[in-house]
Every structure is written in structure tokens, then in C-alpha cells.
Amino acid sequence: MKILIIDDERSIRNSLKEILADEGYEVDVAENGLQGVEMVDKEKYNIIFCDIKMPGMDGMEVLDRFHAMGVDAAVVMISGHGDIDTAVECIKKGAFDFIQKPLDLNRILITIKNATEKVSLVKETRILKKKVYGQEMIGESEPIRHIKDMIEKVAPTDARVLIIGSNGTGKELVARNLHQKSNRSAMPYVEVNCAAIPSELIESELFGHEKGSFTGANEMRRGYFEEADGGTIFLDEIAELPLASQAKLLRVLQSGEFIRVGSSKVLKTDVRVVAATNVNLMHAVSKGKFREDLYYRLNAVSISMPALRERPADINTLFRKFASDFSAKYGVCKVSLTEDAAILLRKYRWPGNIRQLKNVAETISALESVRLSGMSDKCVIDVDTLARYIPKEEPNLLPAKVSSWGDSENPGEREAVIRMLFQLKQDVDYLKEVIAKAGIALPSGPAIAPPEIPVNADVQQDWTSRNDVDEDPEEQEYQTETPDLSLKSANMELIEKVLRKHGGNRKAAAAELGISERTLYRKIKNLNK
């Protein structure tokens, strides 16, 4: 146990050193703040006693320097002019305790005991956190080396980081590494999936609520920003945050202040914010779905995650890692790939990125290791076996050829456009009918319409000869004087196609077109004029 005493009064630091040395502790002393900082930079101490009032660099400045250096020792502040406000400020800055002069031996010894336990717990917590989320990023491809380098540079700072990438690319792992390598690693790390929280509860989850503030609020609850105080909060799927909540988040980023739901008391928090998204936030800004000022607040440092297909050199390495982890966890044979299988693994596009690769590796390990373990001491997967676990079909995300209007290679596109035009014409006809019945005169002017197209006589004869329906006088009166050539031909083409499809059955054709049989008859008659 090594202890450092920083105090400008020789009598205090020497007497305290003698007392602690008699208790079996190894003690060093520093006569001012600057000397103390230099000693801590060179030597590792478990507990540091630091006076507040000192010439040059005072105790508060020393505390700030220790925080910036990432010192994990328990710092105990001592002062002969202290008050409650001073003590609170020291604790907020990261001090373990505050002791007033004159120093009481029993109080000092109790503080040392508690500090020792705290340092031990911090170390254990750090080890556990490393096991939970402190996994290193796997891969040696150029994109991954670049990201690792950015993490090493950015992590020690409190700069906000925006992680951009598709689902399954490892955004959460980057956030965890940023926290683990930061000066806040001993403090809480809180992950929040903004998309998984109902919009009506998001503010309560982020900022907490008071008892009785809404139905179901049976007790006061601390929000994620309070829980993460002193540490890091990771806001995943940040684009899904409602606009009202975005405004409150902006206030936290600007001033560190927030208010619980149902309260008027302003609270403070000190957190580092790391956000992630799989959408283009600038596009969301242009659509009015995301605040521009919030975007620039979050995007102090941007890290873009590459898709797995953009780092093929890492695919086999990741597969081996996942297979090894599965083998160690469940005690099964560790699978490996033949050379041909490894090539197939690299050639696949992996639309689900690392998450999909992990699922495939675990599925193969679970199903094939048992079968192969009885045949050999090595569970080697060949290309045919691997092919069974990789989806054969996937959406074609490459640029596609756009066929011309008359190109028969893409009839579905033409049919869709015709159907749209047909619906548009139907809507226009309906509006004209309503206006006519209301006795409203339509404005004079050129009609938006060109000449007509004759309908195939043979087909027309067949249509009108089957399932005849008596003409309605009202239907007879409804005529379009100058039909549009494009719309009319499109209507006729669609009607003809649907009638052929149903063997001339107008009832079935009308049902598919979404119109009545009488309306279909009228359209055939009018379009043929």
C-alpha cells in the first residue's frame, strides 16, 4: 500500500507521514501541487492525501489534473478552511473523501481502510467489465486498423462520438472500447437503444421521473443520464429519438442539466455521450425528422463502420474467433474450414454483416461439430457443407437496367404505370361527375387531352357480347368530350389485358380493377368511341 501526501505545510505532511509509516504504510510526500502531479505521473499510488489551499497549483487544480491523467488512486482532500459546499465540489470532481483540519488519527485510519476497499472494488469491476464489454476489435484490414487508431486517439478525451454504420457492423463494440479505454472506465457504462423504448416513455427512461408524475409512476426513478453520471452513455439508434426528446437531449449536451418528468428541479450530470445510427442523419435533418443543432453537437468525432464485405481479409479470422468461443463455451469440437470453404466464405456478401457471420459460425459449430467429432479429432468443414448454411438467394442490391416503355423485358413496370394512369383517370372522371351533379360550371380552356385510339374490333365484340347489362340513362349521359390519348390508351390496354386474363368475364375483370361491372361496361363503350 503506497500513500502520497501533498501539503505545503511541512509540519502536517511530516507528522502525517510518521503516523502512517508506523501503521505499516509506504509513504511519500510532496510540498506543492505541481510536485505531487509529477510524482503521480512517475509512480503508482493507492491513496493520495491532498491539501486544498496551496500556493501555485491548489488542490482543486490537482484533482482536475488527476482526472485528466486517469489516476485510479483514491484521492482524499484535506483543508483547514473547508465547508459543505467545498466538500461537495471535491466529491463531484472525483475525490474519495474530504477531511477537515486538525486531522484526527482515527478518522484518517478509517478513511484509508475504506479507500483500500474502494480501490480493490474498482480493480475487480474493471476486470469484470473487460470480460463483459471490453472485447478488442478483431481484424487487421485497413478499415479496422483505422478505426482502432481513432479509438486510441479519441478514447482518452471527452469528445462526443457519432458511430455510423449498417446493422451488425460492430457499432456497440466500438462504443464499449471507447469507454474501456477512457478515463471514465471505472465509472458506469449505460447502453440505451432509442428504437426499443416507446416514444411516450423515452423521456422518463432518459431523465427519470418523480412519484405520481404519470399513471404507473408509483415511485421516483432515476433516468439513464443519472445512472451514467461520471461515466459514458451510449445512445444507439439515435435517429429514432422523438423531436421533443431531442430538444431535451440538446440541453443535456449543452449544459449537463436536465429535469425529471413531473419535477421542476434542475439536476446536473457529467456524462460522455456516444451515439450510433444506421441512417443518414443529414437526410433526416433535411426531412425535418432530426434537429440540425443536435446533429452537430453529437458529431464532434465521426467513426464510419465498414460493411463486412468491405473487409474480406477479416472474415476468416472472425469465423475462427466465433467458432473458438462457441467451442470453449459448450465443450464441442472446434470447427475449421477447408481452403475452398474459406474462399466461399470470403466471396459471400454478408448482408447481415458480422452478426450474420457469427450466427452462421455458431450454427455450424452446433450442428456439424457433433457429427464430425466421431469421425475425426478435427472438425473440418468442406465447401459443400458450408454452402448449406449460406443463403442461396439474397436481394440484388446492384444497379439494375431500366427498360424503355416498349421493352418487353420489363412488362411488370409498364403494367404498374398503366394501372396508376388508369386509377388517375378514374379519379378525374369521378370528380367531373360530382362537379356536374352540383351544377358547377367548369372553367373553359384547352383540355389536357389528345385524340383517341380505336379498340380492336374483334375483342370489343367479344366483350360486349358476353354478360350484357342494360345501359343506364345516367351512364349514357356521362361522356368525356375530349379524352386524353395517353390515359385513354393506357386504360384500354389495361382493360384489354385484364379481360383476356379472365376470358372475357367482365365481372371478374371489374373486381380486379376495383370498379363495378356497370362502370367497366361504360368505360369500354366510351373508350371505343
Task: Please write down the HEC assignment for all residues of 361-387.
Answer: HHHHHHHHHHHHHCCCCCEEECHHHHH
Q: Which residues pair with 303 in a beta bridge?
A: 163
Q: What is the pLDDT of residue 100?
A: 83
Q: Class of the 2-128 domain?
A: alpha beta
SS3 509: helix
Would 135-212+220-306 and 309-389 be classified into the same CATH topology? no
Contact of 306 with 348, CB cutoff 8 Å:
no
Q: What is the pLDDT of residue 500?
A: 81
In the predicted model, what is the mean pLDDT of the chain?
Answer: 80
Q: Class of the 309-389 domain?
A: mainly alpha
The residue ranges of every structural domain in the chain are 2-128, 135-212+220-306, 309-389, 411-527
What length is written for the chain? 529
* Residue pLDDT, tens place only, 215-236: 888 888 899 999 999 999 999 9
Q: How many CB atoms lie within 10 A of CB 85?
A: 8
The set of cell numbers assigned to 414 is 409498364
What's the pTM value of the predicted model, to 2 decimals? 0.54
Q: How many CB atoms lie within 10 A of CB 430?
A: 11
Q: What is the pLDDT of residue 178?
A: 94
Contact of 184 with 226, CB cutoff 8 Å:
no
**Region 135-212+220-306: CATH code:** 3.40.50.300
Terminal-to-terminal C-alpha distance of the chain: 103
Q: What is the pLDDT of residue 345?
A: 94
Would you tell me the crossing angle of helices 315-330 and 353-373 to the nearest 10 degrees?
50
pLDDT beneath 50, residues of the chain: 133-134, 398, 400-411, 445-484
The span from the CA of 14 to the CA of 21, in Å, is 10
